[in-house]
Amino acid sequence: MKRLLGMFLPFAACVCLLSGCWSKKELTDLAFVIAVGLDKTEDGKYLASFQVVNPGNVAGATQRGGGAGGVPVSIYTSTGDSLDEASRKASEKVSRLLYYAHTNLVVIGEELAREGLDGVFDVMERHHQFRPTARLVIARGHSAKDTLSVLTPIDKISANQIIKTLEFSEKSWGQTIHADVWWAIRGIASPGRNPVMTGVSIEGSLEKGKRQENVQSSVPDARVTLNGLALFKNGRLVHWVNGPTARGMMWVLDRIHQTNLTIPWEGKQEAIGYRTARAKTNVEARVNNGRPSISVHIKAEGDISEARVPINLADAGVVFRLEKELERNVKQEVTKAIETAQREKTDIFGFGDAVHRAAPRLWKKIEKEWHDRYFPELDVTVTADLYIRHTGLRNKPYIEEE
């Protein structure tokens, strides 16, 4: 009897400690929020837009090979004095509980970004469901709500299309940045760095882009495209940059994976194309006589992607000249990018963090005036080493001398 009682008591104790399903949530009671859009209303309140998945329509569209079964997402909006209030107030419109564990995109309206992001990310960082790895973009020229409302043809859920475009564009082109909420929080909280984010715009007719017919045409009436980099200072959007200047910033941030450079040759513009295969940027701070300075060294290697002029790529001297021209091109992009940031008085490169690591005592004296006084006058030296590893199957292009 004692033996049986000794075996039963441990099991009884375990049963008492089991929590059971006290916190269970049925799938049919959850609304999966894939993306969140944030704007400001005319009366100063937050306008939150929630892109919620319609599971049946997503699965049906996949099985039927198109979007004939209905729109894959729905947009719900609500307003509030705070983001948490706007989120909870949305329960008046949604028949399910908003669930943020799968939220992977945050779109911030340009007007709100210019007004300031103070407090915007606080609720996201504290929320037990929200992931700080959610991607972050700025709606340029349109509201965040409009950006999330456009239906996309390839990826049925437009938030996924924006995320994948961000990822692949940074890897293959290098003029946009794959930033997330945690990246922005660190940039805002750090005295030696300001955040930079990618902008998204709407091309075409917004009204037609909201309709299902937009995904049933080979040429959609509206598209969501990436559009430049947004520079921030003290949590506020202060400037937009595009093109080579944006890529120059990506060089300094060490976020270039692959990109394509075109350089002139023998008097012809955009004559030689160069595709980078790998790149690395080192930023180092030095202090001389109490004055900080920065050296930026870029090292990259790649291949000749095209040659539109007669050139002998088998000649080592010619290849050496091409490498020097490529280095000059990269230094020019990077120098212009740094000058732009210095003119806007916003250190998006983290030069202040580098000075902090190199000279902690000096940094304590200058950190409060870093962006407005020291960074605009900072002496920055840029060097670049670019190597041509491969020239392709043809050393002499079939283009003949005229």
Helices (H), 94-202: 110-115, 122-126, 144-149, 158-172, 181-189
What is the C-alpha separation between 90 and 42, in angstroms, rounded? Answer: 19
Concatenating the DSSP letter of every residue in 240-269 gives EE-HHHHHHHHHHTT--SS-EEEEEETTEE
pLDDT digits (tens, 9 = 90+) for 87-128: 999 999 998 999 999 999 999 999 999 999 988 999 999 999
pLDDT-based confidence at 64, cuts 50/70/90? very low
Mean pLDDT of the chain: 91
**Per-residue pLDDT, 299:** 98
pLDDT digits (tens, 9 = 90+) for 284-314: 999 999 899 999 999 999 999 999 999 999 9
**Per-residue pLDDT, 12:** 66
What is the C-alpha separation between 144 and 337, in angstroms, rounded? Answer: 27
| pTM exceeds 0.85 for this model | yes
pLDDT-based confidence at 69, cuts 50/70/90? low
All domains of the chain in start order, with CATH: 26-241 (no CATH), 242-402 (3.30.300.210)
What letter would DSSP give residue 401? P
Instruction: Collect all residues with Cβ–Cβ distance below 8 Å to 214 and sequence separation of at least 6.
Output: 150, 151, 153, 208, 220, 221, 222
pLDDT digits (tens, 9 = 90+) for 122-168: 999 999 999 999 999 999 999 999 999 999 988 889 999 999 999 99
Please count the other Cβ atoms lying within 10 Å of the Cβ belonging to residue 91: 14
Greater confidence (148 vs 28) lies with 148
Instruction: Collect all residues with Cβ–Cβ distance below 8 Å to 106 and sequence separation of at least 6.
Output: 35, 36, 37, 38, 124, 134, 135, 136, 137, 181
pLDDT digits (tens, 9 = 90+) for 178-207: 999 999 999 999 999 999 999 999 999 999
β-pairing verdict for 97-99 and 30-40: parallel
